[in-house]
């Protein structure tokens, strides 16, 4: 398996190993050179994090199975799930984070990040209501706490789009098809939690310096649907590599001590679909939470995450962007890949920090030829005095789409005998009637498509698509909420949409200060094929031949010149005017002449009112679906097209207005509402009234359920203590806690260091918990208050190819040997209406190195002892006849776990590269954490016992051919052996058995097949321990070797 630790960690890891660095060292906390230090100005910021982990028993998100939520073996007495399978385990806690920024001159904004599947307008309106009510009460002396200064006009709420956390916050019934049903209790819980995060952040305001950088980054995401062929035979879609290819970091350093500024908060924006884990019935924060854990521990910060081009950027899979050996099979491939992706994401944030500290010069960025490294794309240097402002409007939807719609079926299909039925494909267009219509059309003596073209040519405005309304189904309101925020020379637009790559790039390039770089959409004809030919070449004067984007070594059938020119027009023509063009039904009907077609976007940059850094945020404030640009709406059928609530020109509708709003914050004209916008204020008033009613009802409902919760049986106590383990195993703690309604225990693991317990791992993805729910037969005991709620916590010990920080920020590639313990905090209801906190601490348990390294052979050839090590795994691919060798040391894959999601065995990932050697064979679902698949020996010593009683320790060296050699000459009466612990891998794991070397030609040790670790082993049972110097030598060796390999 390829080695993936970050190069920046190498030097620090060496320092830690030799005792130079302290346990509290965190990476990336360096500040700018003294010359760059700034005195505090008027700028202030505060940040806060609130735990919003909802109750187990609710479903684990979109991919949870649709099935009855109760049965003989599982009952949730609190009825969280209605149509989805309930989740019974938590991989990582769910948080909401808020950032408040104040310029000291009356400008204040708040950005809240939550972990919901979609942004919900009614929920976010409720948050603003709660904040405004809080401030009123504080002003009247009726409530404690700081005045937040935040309301509907300066609050931006962004959703992570997590597919693996509870989503019960919308009365939009259409989402219930693929999620679960609205729950008033959840609505109240999340609204109150987000409001609390903002209030807490306002209470943490302190002087800061602010800077920002956007750096290239395309290491974990890829285009979701990639290259396509349009229905007219022209190239469509985009390459799998076509994302925005960037991450934006807005950094806030605490200036409470001006002489020692320290990183305090980050606002990080990246477009990525959080669907790395699918339907495992384990609630988790997916990639965004994993990345926040790594970033914040290494920088000492609190990070708020937002999305960008979520609509077209998904987790990597197959060969779309990276080579097989990178093993970036991130989609639906277990939990350990979360840490792999988080490491790559965190490294990009470190690069942004380094660029800010160095004041690095920016370099142009071309999405047609994106770079994955190099200088920042945008950079705004530190400032302590910046204008903070926001503008928020609710506008009418496009004229041709008075209410949001769904399906967006192409009208042209009606003329091909391929009529589509909207909505029935949930949400796609249903093709059932094509089975009847296509044979009829094919039997006619004329081409029905000509009828469509003739109608267009004669000026008949035939709508290019048709839809059914989705108002109240997916979209909660019809008025479209648009927002922009200014943070000094940084501007952010907030799109109520699942933004596409081209839309995000269009907004950002129109708002920067670079003339002539406006991005108007992907165009295959700007590119050449792998052979160097133009993508499309002219034929006989009336046709064009284009390479197939799904396999450019082959050409598509020739297309007409009209279709070719129409393709170019749909991408490149200026879209200005479509909203007022009655002849085209306000953009719904495509003109016959390509030169009259309204293209992807309205052309025009706001350079005079531009910024040093622009961030196009998606999944914000409200949800009007995916918003493909015009070409992608017209060219082919796809799920994302079906969910565009704003119609054919929805991408331009949003982008052009958001650009205008952002420009207005920097000297541009203020947004002038249209007469239709004013009409839709009545709709906004309706939504506000509904919000208040829902909010008050939800708050009352939550109080009733809390009061009615059953008494919990038993008392909090440990039922089963953790056993000692080696690496590549897990320690488990079983204990009595509270019910799923009052309890979701926060479990941490501490490590004993120099006689004191220190934090080591937390429930942020390192310690998992699971609850045993009652069976149907046990329900009476729940109602009687006698049911004992049993919880299980798990902590894995392992070596890894990924450098990850522990709870103190110390970089680790292995779980250090030592003594650990579980620490639990939760809530238990011992009597009606009485819920009290509890705390439990387990007995200590030991983690030791894995002792499964074997000496496969030792040969005394008269002048040296030659050694080979294992155990190597061998896996035969019967289809190809190829045997995959996993080694030289094949670590265990899994362990006996009470968590049902873990299990299985290695699987083969095939890649069409022309050689089976590139195929990868590993286990993705065997564990939670990123265990190393294989290890290499980095130190080995042979013990020689001379006949005269002397003992010599002879260090072996690699022989360059996969073995090791120790210069040993054995005389009469001499003996040699490899002692337990004398062979050490790069992860500090060892051989557990002594191996005697006899003076014969060769002796073979029976290899131990890699398998399931049970937590013991010979090293543990004999009491033999690994001498600390061996671990030191081994780990320094691997870090230095890796640093050298990276430098090379």
Which residues pair with residue 769 across a beta bridge? Answer: 90, 793
Q: Which two tokens stand for residue 915?
A: 């050689």
Residues 254 and 206 sit within 8 Å (Cβ to Cβ):
yes
Residues 911 and 956 sit within 8 Å (Cβ to Cβ):
no
CATH code for 717-848? 2.60.40.2300
More confident residue, 7 or 416: 416
Q: Which two tokens stand for residue 738?
A: 């509270």
Banded pLDDT at 997 (limits 50, 70, 90): confident
pLDDT at 640 over 80: yes
pLDDT number for residue 411: 79
Burial of 203 (0-12, 13-18, 19+ CB in 10 A): middle
Calculate mean pLDDT across residues 708-730. 98
Measured CA to CA, the distance from residue 5 to residue 340 in angstroms comes to: 9
Calculate mean pLDDT across residues 143-169. 97
Cβ-Cβ contacts under 8 Å for 581 (sequence gap 6 or more)? 587, 598
Measured CA to CA, the distance from residue 168 to residue 860 in angstroms comes to: 69
Q: For residue 740, how far is the Cα from the chain centroid? A: 27
Quote the mean pLDDT of the chain: 89
Which residues pair with residue 890 across a beta bridge? Answer: 934
Q: Which two tokens stand for residue 449?
A: 């498509």
pLDDT at 1017 over 80: no
**Cα-based angle 10, 15, 17 (whole degrees, multiple of 5):** 95
pLDDT digits (tens, 9 = 90+) for 575-596: 999 999 998 888 999 999 999 9
pLDDT number for residue 441: 52
Q: Which of 390, 396, 391 is nearest to 684 (CA)?
A: 396
Work out whether strand 302-306 and strand 262-269 pair parallel, antiparallel, or are unpaired.
parallel
Which residues pair with residue 84 across a beta bridge? Answer: 66
More confident residue, 13 or 273: 273
Measured CA to CA, the distance from residue 860 to residue 870 in angstroms comes to: 19
Q: Which of 482, 484, 480, 500 is nearest to 492 (CA)?
A: 484
- List the single range of 149-158, 196-205, 417-426, 687-696 with lowest mean pLDDT: 417-426
Q: Which of 150, 45, 148, 47 is nearest to 103 (CA)?
A: 45
Q: Which of 525, 641, 640, 631 is nearest to 232 (CA)?
A: 631
pLDDT number for residue 481: 98
> Which residue do the tokens 């009418």 mark?
396
> Which residue do the tokens 């059928």 mark?
637
pLDDT digits (tens, 9 = 90+) for 492-502: 999 999 999 99
Banded pLDDT at 404 (limits 50, 70, 90): confident
Q: Which two tokens stand for residue 63?
A: 């991919």
Q: Which two tokens stand for residue 743?
A: 């309890």
Measured CA to CA, the distance from residue 196 to residue 312 in angstroms comes to: 33
Measured CA to CA, the distance from residue 558 to residue 555 in angstroms comes to: 8
**Strand (E) positions, 565-677?**
613-617
Q: Which residues of 675-697 are buried (b: 16+ CB within 10 A; e: fewer)?
A: eebeebeebbeebbebbeebbee
Measured CA to CA, the distance from residue 721 to residue 704 in angstroms comes to: 37
Cα–Cα distances in Å, from 203 out to 34, 99, 386, 836? 29, 11, 20, 27
Q: Which of 485, 479, 978 is nearest to 688 (CA)?
A: 479
Calculate mean pLDDT across residues 360-368. 97
Q: Containing H/E element for 651?
A: helix 650-664
More confident residue, 470 or 588: 588
* DSSP structure string for 44-105: EEEEEEEE-PPPBTBB-STTS-BS-S-BTTB--TT---SSBPBP-EESS--EEEEEEEE-SS
Please list the residue range(s) of the chain that carry CATH number 2.60.40.2300. 717-848
Q: Which two tokens stand for residue 812?
A: 């680790």
Kindly state the percentage of the chain with pLDDT values over 70. 88
pLDDT digits (tens, 9 = 90+) for 601-624: 999 999 999 999 999 999 999 999
Cα–Cα distances in Å, from 936 out to 213, 423, 599, 854, 869? 39, 56, 57, 12, 9
* DSSP structure string for 935-966: E-EEEEEEEEE-TTS-EEEEE-EE-SSS-EEE
Which residues pair with residue 395 across a beta bridge? Answer: 480
**Strand (E) positions, 135-261?**
155-159, 206-216, 221-223, 227-229, 235-237, 246-254
pLDDT digits (tens, 9 = 90+) for 211-263: 999 999 999 999 999 999 999 999 999 999 999 999 999 999 999 999 999 99
Cβ-Cβ contacts under 8 Å for 993 (sequence gap 6 or more)? 851, 854, 980, 1018
- Specify the DSSP class assigned to residue 259: T
Q: Containing H/E element for 813?
A: strand 811-814
Q: Which of 684-688, 848-852, 863-867 has the highest mean predicted lDDT (pLDDT)?
A: 848-852
Whole-angstrom Cα Rg for the chain: 31
Work out whether strand 975-978 and strand 995-997 pair parallel, antiparallel, or are unpaired.
antiparallel
pLDDT at 1009 over 50: no
Peptide bond into 871 cis (omega under 30): yes
Q: Which of 792, 789, 788 is nearest to 733 (CA)?
A: 792
Measured CA to CA, the distance from residue 591 to residue 359 in angstroms comes to: 50
pLDDT at 687 over 80: yes
pLDDT number for residue 27: 32
Banded pLDDT at 541 (limits 50, 70, 90): confident
Measured CA to CA, the distance from residue 396 to residue 242 in angstroms comes to: 31
pLDDT at 447 over 80: no
Calculate mean pLDDT across residues 699-722. 97
Q: Which two tokens stand for residue 994?
A: 């002594």
Cβ-Cβ contacts under 8 Å for 395 (sequence gap 6 or more)? 479, 480, 482, 657, 673, 674, 677, 680
Measured CA to CA, the distance from residue 546 to residue 734 in angstroms comes to: 63
Measured CA to CA, the distance from residue 637 to residue 376 in angstroms comes to: 36
Span between the terminal Cα atoms of the chain, in Å: 19
**Strand (E) positions, 431-479?**
465-469
pLDDT digits (tens, 9 = 90+) for 429-440: 777 656 655 555
**Cα-based angle 852, 853, 856 (whole degrees, multiple of 5):** 125
Q: For residue 852, how far is the Cα from the chain centroid? A: 35
Measured CA to CA, the distance from residue 27 to residue 298 in angstroms comes to: 5
Work out whether strand 613-617 and strand 490-494 pair parallel, antiparallel, or are unpaired.
parallel
More confident residue, 621 or 449: 621
pLDDT at 1006 over 50: no
pLDDT number for residue 641: 87
Cβ-Cβ contacts under 8 Å for 504 (sequence gap 6 or more)? 244, 271, 308, 309, 616, 618
Which residues pair with residue 882 across a beta bridge? Answer: 877
pLDDT at 724 over 50: yes
> Which residue do the tokens 């260090």 mark?
955
pLDDT number for residue 324: 86
């Amino acid at each position: 398996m390829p080695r993936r630790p970050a190069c920046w960690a190498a030097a620090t890891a060496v320092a830690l190993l030799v005792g130079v660095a302290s346990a509290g060292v965190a990476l990336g906390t360096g500040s700018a050179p003294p010359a760059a230090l700034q005195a505090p100005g008027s700028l202030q910021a505060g940040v806060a994090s609130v735990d919003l982990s909802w109750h187990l028993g609710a479903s684990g998100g979109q991919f949870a199975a649709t099935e009855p939520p109760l049965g003989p073996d599982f009952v949730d007495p609190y009825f969280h799930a209605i149509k989805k399978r309930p989740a019974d385990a938590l991989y990582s806690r769910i948080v909401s984070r808020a950032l408040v920024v104040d310029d000291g001159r009356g400008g204040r904004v708040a950005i809240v990040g939550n972990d919901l599947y979609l942004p919900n307008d009614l929920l976010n309106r409720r948050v603003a209501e709660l904040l405004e009510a809080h401030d009123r009460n504080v002003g009247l002396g009726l409530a404690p706490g700081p005045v937040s200064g935040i309301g509907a006009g300066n609050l931006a709420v962004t959703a992570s789009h997590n597919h693996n956390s509870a989503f019960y916050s919308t009365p939009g019934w259409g989402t219930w098809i693929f999620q679960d049903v609205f729950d008033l209790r959840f609505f109240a819980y999340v609204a109150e939690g987000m409001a609390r995060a903002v209030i807490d952040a306002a209470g943490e305001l302190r002087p800061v310096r602010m800077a920002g950088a956007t750096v290239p980054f395309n290491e974990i995401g890829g285009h979701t649907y990639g290259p396509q062929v349009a229905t007219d035979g022209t190239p469509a879609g985009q390459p799998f590599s076509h994302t925005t290819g960037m991450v934006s970091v807005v950094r806030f350093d605490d200036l409470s001590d001006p002489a020692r500024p320290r990183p305090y908060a980050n606002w990080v924006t990246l477009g990525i679909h959080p669907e790395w884990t699918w339907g495992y019935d384990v609630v988790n924060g997916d990639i965004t939470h994993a990345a926040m854990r790594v970033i914040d521990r290494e920088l000492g910060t609190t990070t708020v995450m937002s999305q960008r081009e979520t609509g077209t950027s998904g987790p990597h899979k197959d060969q779309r962007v990276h080579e097989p050996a990178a093993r970036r099979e991130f989609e639906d491939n277990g939990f350990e890949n979360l840490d792999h992706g988080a490491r790559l994401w965190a490294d990009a944030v470190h690069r942004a920090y380094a660029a800010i500290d160095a004041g690095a010069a920016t370099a142009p960025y071309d999405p047609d030829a994106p770079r994955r490294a190099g200088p920042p794309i945008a950079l705004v240097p530190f400032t302590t005095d910046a204008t903070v402002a926001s503008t928020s409007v609710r506008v009418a939807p496009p004229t041709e789409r008075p209410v949001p719609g769904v399906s967006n079926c192409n009208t042209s299909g009606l003329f091909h005998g391929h009529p589509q039925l909207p909505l029935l494909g949930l949400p796609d267009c249903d093709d059932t009637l094509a089975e009847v219509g296509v044979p009829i059309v094919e039997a006619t003596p004329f081409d029905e498509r000509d009828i469509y073209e003739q109608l267009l040519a004669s000026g008949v405005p035939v709508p290019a698509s048709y839809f059914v309304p989705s108002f109240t189904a997916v979209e909660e309101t019809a008025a479209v909420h648009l927002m922009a925020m200014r943070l000094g020379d940084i501007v952010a637009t907030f799109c109520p949409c699942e933004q596409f790559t081209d839309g995000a790039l269009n907004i950002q390039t129109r708002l920067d200060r670079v003339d002539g770089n406006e991005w108007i959409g992907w165009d295959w004809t700007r590119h050449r094929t792998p052979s160097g030919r133009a993508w499309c070449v002219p034929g006989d004067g009336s046709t064009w031949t284009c390479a197939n984007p799904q396999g450019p070594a082959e050409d598509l059938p020739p297309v007409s010149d009209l279709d070719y020119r129409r393709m170019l027009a749909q991408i490149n023509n200026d879209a200005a005017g479509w909203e007022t063009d009655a002849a085209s039904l306000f953009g719904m009907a495509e003109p016959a002449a390509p030169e009259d077609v309204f293209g992807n976007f309205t052309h025009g940059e706001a350079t005079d009112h531009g910024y040093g850094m622009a961030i196009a945020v998606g999944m914000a404030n409200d949800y009007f679906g995916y918003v493909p640009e015009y070409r992608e709406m017209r060219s082919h059928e796809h799920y994302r097209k079906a969910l565009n609530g704003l119609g054919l020109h929805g991408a331009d509708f949003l982008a052009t207005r958001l650009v205008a709003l952002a420009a207005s914050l920097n000297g541009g004209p203020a947004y002038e509402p249209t007469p239709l916008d004013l009409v839709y204020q009545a709709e906004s008033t309706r939504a506000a009234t509904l919000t208040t009613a829902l909010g008050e009802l939800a708050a009352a409902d939550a109080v009733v359920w809390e009061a009615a919760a059953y008494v919990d049986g038993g008392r909090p106590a440990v039922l089963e203590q953790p056993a000692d383990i080696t690496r590549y195993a897990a320690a488990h703690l079983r204990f009595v806690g509270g019910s799923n309604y009052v309890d979701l225990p926060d479990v941490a693991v501490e490590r004993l260091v120099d006689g004191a317990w220190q934090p080591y791992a937390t429930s942020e993805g390192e310690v998992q918990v699971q609850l045993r729910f009652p069976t149907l037969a046990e329900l009476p005991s729940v109602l009687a208050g006698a049911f004992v709620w049993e919880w299980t916590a798990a902590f894995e010990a392992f070596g890894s190819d990924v450098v990850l920080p522990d709870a103190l920020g110390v970089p680790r590639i292995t779980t250090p040997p030592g003594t650990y313990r579980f620490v639990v905090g939760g809530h238990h209801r011992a009597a009606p209406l009485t819920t009290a906190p509890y705390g439990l601490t387990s007995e200590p348990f030991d983690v030791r190195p894995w002792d499964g390294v074997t000496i496969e052979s030792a040969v005394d050839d008269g002048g040296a002892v030659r050694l080979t090590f294992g155990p190597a795994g061998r896996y035969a691919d019967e289809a190809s006849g190829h045997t995959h060798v996993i080694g030289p040391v094949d670590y265990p894959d899994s362990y006996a776990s009470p968590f049902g999601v873990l299990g299985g065995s290695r699987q083969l990932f095939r890649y069409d590269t022309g050689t089976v050697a590139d195929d990868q064979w590993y286990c993705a679902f065997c564990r939670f954490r990123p265990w190393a698949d294989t290890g290499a020996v980095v130190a080995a010593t042979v013990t020689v016992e001379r006949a005269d009683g002397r003992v010599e320790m002879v260090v072996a060296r690699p022989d360059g051919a996969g073995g090791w050699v120790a210069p040993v000459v054995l005389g009469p009466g001499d003996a040699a052996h490899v002692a337990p612990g004398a062979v050490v891998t790069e992860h500090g794991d060892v051989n557990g058995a002594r191996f005697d070397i006899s003076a014969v030609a060769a002796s073979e040790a029976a290899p131990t097949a890699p398998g399931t670790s049970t937590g013991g082993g010979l090293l543990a049972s004999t009491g033999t321990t690994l001498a600390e110097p061996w671990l030191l030598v081994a780990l320094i060796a691997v870090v230095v070797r890796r640093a050298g390999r990276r430098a090379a």
